[in-house]
């Protein structure tokens, strides 16, 4: 089946919701979803905060920073608008300091079930 065919639409009309199993205040809007695999594209918004854990996923994750910045605590690097990451399953990343908040677009790709 795959993700649905979507022509341009106003993503601002998609409501924000708290990310399940995430720190309070991390919000998402899922703008495209493949119900068969669970793969999706979402806009993710972080308030000013510090995340408290390393992350590792069982899916491909692509992230593009739209606004704000992320500071990688372990790598001691700051990522700004326009920065992009492509993470294969199993890649460790984080934790982060997010001093001013941050907005990203994220694409998660799961293998077919």
Per-residue pLDDT of the chain (113 residues; tens, 9 = 90+): 688 899 999 999 999 999 998 889 999 999 999 999 999 999 999 999 998 889 999 999 999 999 999 999 999 999 999 999 999 999 999 999 999 999 999 999 997 65
Q: Which domain holds residue 98?
A: 11-109
Whole-prediction pTM: 0.92
- Asked if residue 104 belongs to a domain, the reply is yes
CATH of the domain at 87: 2.60.120.10
Contact predicate 63/84, CB 8 Å = yes
Structure tokens at 37: 């695999």
**How high is the pLDDT of residue 2?**
82
- Asked if residue 75 belongs to a domain, the reply is yes
- Asked if residue 41 belongs to a domain, the reply is yes
What CA–CA distance (Å, rounded) separates 66 from 85? 12
CA dihedral 6, 8, 13, 15 (to 10 degrees): 40
Q: How far is CA 109 from CA 15, 86, 90, in A?
A: 22, 11, 13
- Asked if residue 89 belongs to a domain, the reply is yes
Q: What is the count of structural domains for the chain?
A: 1
- Asked if residue 2 belongs to a domain, the reply is no
- Asked if residue 32 belongs to a domain, the reply is yes
**How high is the pLDDT of residue 60?**
95
Name residue 104's beta-bridge partners.
Answer: 44, 65
- Asked if residue 4 belongs to a domain, the reply is no
**How high is the pLDDT of residue 1?**
67
């Amino acid at each position: 089946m795959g993700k649905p065919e979507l022509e341009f639409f106003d993503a601002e009309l998609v409501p924000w919701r708290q990310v399940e199993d995430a720190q309070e205040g991390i919000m998402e809007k899922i703008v495209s979803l493949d119900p068969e695999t669970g793969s999706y594209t979402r806009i993710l918004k972080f308030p000013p905060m510090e995340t408290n854990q390393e992350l590792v996923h069982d899916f491909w994750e692509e992230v593009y920073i739209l606004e704000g910045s992320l500071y990688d605590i372990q790598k001691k690097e700051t990522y700004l608008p326009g920065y992009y990451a492509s993470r294969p399953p199993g890649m460790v990343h984080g934790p982060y300091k997010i001093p001013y908040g941050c907005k990203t677009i994220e694409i998660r790709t799961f293998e077919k079930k």
